[in-house]
Structure 1
Amino acid sequence: MSTPTLDKHSAALDAAENTASHAIKVTFRIRRFNPEVSEEASWQDFELDIDPKERVLDALHKIKWEQDGTLTFRRSCAHGICGSDAMRINGKNRLACKTLIKDINPQKPITVEAIKGLTVLKDLVVDMEPFFQAYRDVMPFLITKGNEPTRERLQTAEDRERFDDTTKCILCAACTSSCPVFWNDGQYFGPAAIVNAHRFIFDSRDEGGEQRLEILNDKDGVWRCRTTFNCTDACPRGIEVTKAIQEVKRALITRRF
């Protein structure tokens, strides 16, 4: 009866050895900031042996758990759904949980820093309140008039397809914090808020489109967009952000949506 147990144990050891043999030495250069220690941010290097098929989030966990417990960052689901671990990796906004080490040239130091345009609270954690305030300001919920319905509000597949792309937003702020206009003026609503307004403006069941368009017609609304496509490039969900913003601009001019 003991033989199968030994075989399983041996197989587990072999698997562990194979995993270890695939590890390479990688340097992570992380921009650190702790307001309780210094008013200035600084870069700190961490070297670790890790399988290049692992994710950047795995490397950050390894650093925090094995080298420096003070390293601070956000993460939750670790599967690209919650959007909480957006950061700048090698100068580009990405989700740490979706970025494989092998895809970002591990032969050179991998730089990791907080997303831009929002106040850094500590290390890789930023104050998301301005971002979420812009989201709240565009009224990201279904608005209807009249009495409460007695049956489901039906919608055709074609009507649903009209705004399908913008339903994918996970509010990670990767698009908004990649926008040069947002960097220079934090009052700008930003791409994510406009994307979420788009999702309801073009919903056939919604009756608040005119209100949202007026909100986005403000000086800090859609007209601030300079169509640099940074937002579309940064979106980890593949949303055509710039296209959505252009459609909102067109709706403002034509009042057809």
Structure 2
Amino acid sequence: MSTPTLDKDSAAADAAETGASHLITVTFRIRRFNPEISEDASWEDFQLQIDPKERVLDALHKIKWELDGSLTFRRSCAHGICGSDAMRINGRNRLACKTLIKDINPEKPITVEAIKGLTVLKDLVVDMEPFFQAYRDVMPFLITTGNEPTRERRQSAEDRERFDDTTKCILCAACTSSCPVFWNDGQYFGPAAIVNAHRFIFDSRDEGGEQRLEILNDKDGVWRCRTTFNCTDACPRGIEVTKAIQEVKRALITRRF
């Protein structure tokens, strides 16, 4: 008895048709900027067939690889860990690799542009140096005195819990570039720098808390925060950024941390 088999071409066609049935037509409206061509930015539309369960980063890849190789953006891990693909999607700061197309109303054009408050170098790429300089300025490392220990510095679970939330920062700049104070004055340290200072100020093993507090007590420091909660809303890791900033303010007043 012969075994029934499917014609390979027919099976492939059926599979292609089934796959295509899941695709929808989406328009991506991307803010383009190339200083070698023009000093002005402009919007450009790209229309493509894509599965709505795909991510915005997948769509950007498809545009770059199939429609316009000059489209420029940053990305690395594509899993929400590196933080390099932060951008404004439909007017909100998000990670392109974590934003599903189906969740952002694909029936209308999806707008994609660079994050605000930092100089745009090309298309969706901004100059991150001011952001990282503020991060470096708050001394984001453990400061201790005395001899080098011969064993690990132990810490209780309760002490670790005190600053656990702010250890989640991936330096994507989504919080800082959502802050209206930072938009108006790039000298402000910004939420991300304060969050990373918080992570060490409240670490029981650290001895540099006073130094960091004095840095953040500067006119461009923590007192510039207007508590708009934009930063908390923008954080892709769910960090309570505004709460952390308020705790640093309280520590400055009470000198208890």
Q: What is the TM-score with the length of structure 1 in the denominator?
A: 0.96
CA distance in 1, matches of 2:158, 2:8: 53
Residue 242 of structure 1: CA displacement?
0.0
CA distance in 1, matches of 2:182, 2:15: 48
Residue 118 of structure 1: CA displacement?
0.1
How has the CA–CA distance of structure 1 residues 150 and 105 changed in structure 2, closer, same or farther, with 3 Å as cutoff?
same
How has the CA–CA distance of structure 1 residues 15 and 137 changed in structure 2, closer, same or farther, with 3 Å as cutoff?
farther
Root-mean-square deviation (CA, aligned residues, Å) is 2.1
**Aligned equivalent of 1:199:** 199
How has the CA–CA distance of structure 1 residues 27 and 142 changed in structure 2, closer, same or farther, with 3 Å as cutoff?
same
Per-residue CA deviation, residues 86-131 of structure 1 (Å, 9 max, x unaligned), is 0000000000000000000000000000000000000000000000
CA distance in 2, matches of 1:134, 1:3: 69
How has the CA–CA distance of structure 1 residues 209 and 12 changed in structure 2, closer, same or farther, with 3 Å as cutoff?
farther
**Aligned equivalent of 2:253:** 253
How has the CA–CA distance of structure 1 residues 209 and 49 changed in structure 2, closer, same or farther, with 3 Å as cutoff?
same
Residue 8 of structure 1: CA displacement?
9.5
How has the CA–CA distance of structure 1 residues 164 and 2 changed in structure 2, closer, same or farther, with 3 Å as cutoff?
farther
Per-residue CA deviation, residues 25-60 of structure 1 (Å, 9 max, x unaligned), is 000000000000000000000000001000000000
User: Is the deviation greater in 1-10 or in 130-139?
Assistant: 1-10
**Aligned equivalent of 1:140:** 140
Residue 12 of structure 1: CA displacement?
6.8
CA distance in 2, matches of 1:48, 1:150: 59
SS where residue 231 of structure 2 aligns?
helix
How has the CA–CA distance of structure 1 residues 233 and 12 changed in structure 2, closer, same or farther, with 3 Å as cutoff?
farther
Residue 15 of structure 1: CA displacement?
4.6
**Aligned equivalent of 1:151:** 151
How has the CA–CA distance of structure 1 residues 14 and 159 changed in structure 2, closer, same or farther, with 3 Å as cutoff?
farther
How has the CA–CA distance of structure 1 residues 185 and 204 changed in structure 2, closer, same or farther, with 3 Å as cutoff?
same
CA distance in 1, matches of 2:236, 2:111: 19
User: Is the deviation greater in 206-215 or in 9-18?
Assistant: 9-18
Per-residue CA deviation, residues 180-218 of structure 1 (Å, 9 max, x unaligned), is 000000000000000000000000000000000000000
CA distance in 2, matches of 1:166, 1:16: 46
**Aligned equivalent of 1:71:** 71
Residue 18 of structure 1: CA displacement?
2.4
Gaps of 5+ in 2: none
CA distance in 2, matches of 1:2, 1:169: 62
CA distance in 2, matches of 1:155, 1:7: 65
* Length, aligned pairs only: 257
Per-residue CA deviation, residues 208-245 of structure 1 (Å, 9 max, x unaligned), is 00000000000000000000000000000000000000
SS where residue 3 of structure 1 aligns?
coil
CA distance in 2, matches of 1:8, 1:51: 25
How has the CA–CA distance of structure 1 residues 46 and 150 changed in structure 2, closer, same or farther, with 3 Å as cutoff?
same
CA distance in 2, matches of 1:132, 1:111: 27
Residue 81 of structure 1: CA displacement?
0.2
Residue 3 of structure 1: CA displacement?
8.5
CA distance in 2, matches of 1:38, 1:255: 51
Residue 9 of structure 1: CA displacement?
9.1
Residue 17 of structure 1: CA displacement?
3.4
How has the CA–CA distance of structure 1 residues 215 and 22 changed in structure 2, closer, same or farther, with 3 Å as cutoff?
same
Deviation beyond 3 Å, 4+ runs, structure 1: 1-17
CA distance in 1, matches of 2:241, 2:255: 20
Residue 167 of structure 1: CA displacement?
0.2
Gaps of 5+ in 1: none
Q: What is the TM-score with the length of structure 2 in the denominator?
A: 0.96
SS where residue 177 of structure 2 aligns?
helix
SS where residue 6 of structure 2 aligns?
helix
Per-residue CA deviation, residues 140-186 of structure 1 (Å, 9 max, x unaligned), is 00000000001110000000000000000000000000000000000
